[in-house]
Amino acid sequence: MTKEKYPSRNNSLEVLLNFDGECYNFEDGYWIKFEVRRVEPSKHIPHGIQCSLTLHDNKNVRVLGFDNAHGYKPRKKKYGARKVTWDHKHEREKVVPYEYNSAVQLLEDFWDAVDEIKER
């Protein structure tokens, strides 16, 4: 039997909210900052959580970020509609939409991306 990395999806929202204001430093100079707060659900933030989960290098440059602080509209594809999404991922200068499913999934995706970057 495998153990879940985080609590059940039902409790994960509270776990995510408890990360607000936390910073973690790594021995190699990287550091992480969490900003998470409950907001009134809206068209742009239907899950009611405004967040910014970021990884910074030893020069204080953000190298990774998951947030919903502003809208993101993908580049226009030929004849394709463009959906504006507020949940997105920054990796250096590259920005891509992020499909928010749950707080626990957000935490897992963030930590997986952190591990991937730090392994490079």
Taking 90 as the threshold, does the pLDDT of residue 91 lie above it?
Answer: no
What are the beta bridge partners of residue 51? 36
Please report, for residues 57, 84, 91, 94, 101, the alpha-carbon distance to residue 98 in angstroms, rounded to integers and kept in the order given.
Answer: 22, 11, 12, 12, 9
Burial of 36 (0-12, 13-18, 19+ CB in 10 A): buried
**pLDDT, tens digit, 9 for 90 and up, residues 21-32:** 999 999 999 999
Task: Supply the pLDDT for residue 96.
Answer: 84
Taking 80 as the threshold, does the pLDDT of residue 58 lie above it?
Answer: yes
3-state secondary structure of 114: helix
Most confident region among 62-66, 82-86, 116-120 by mean pLDDT: 62-66
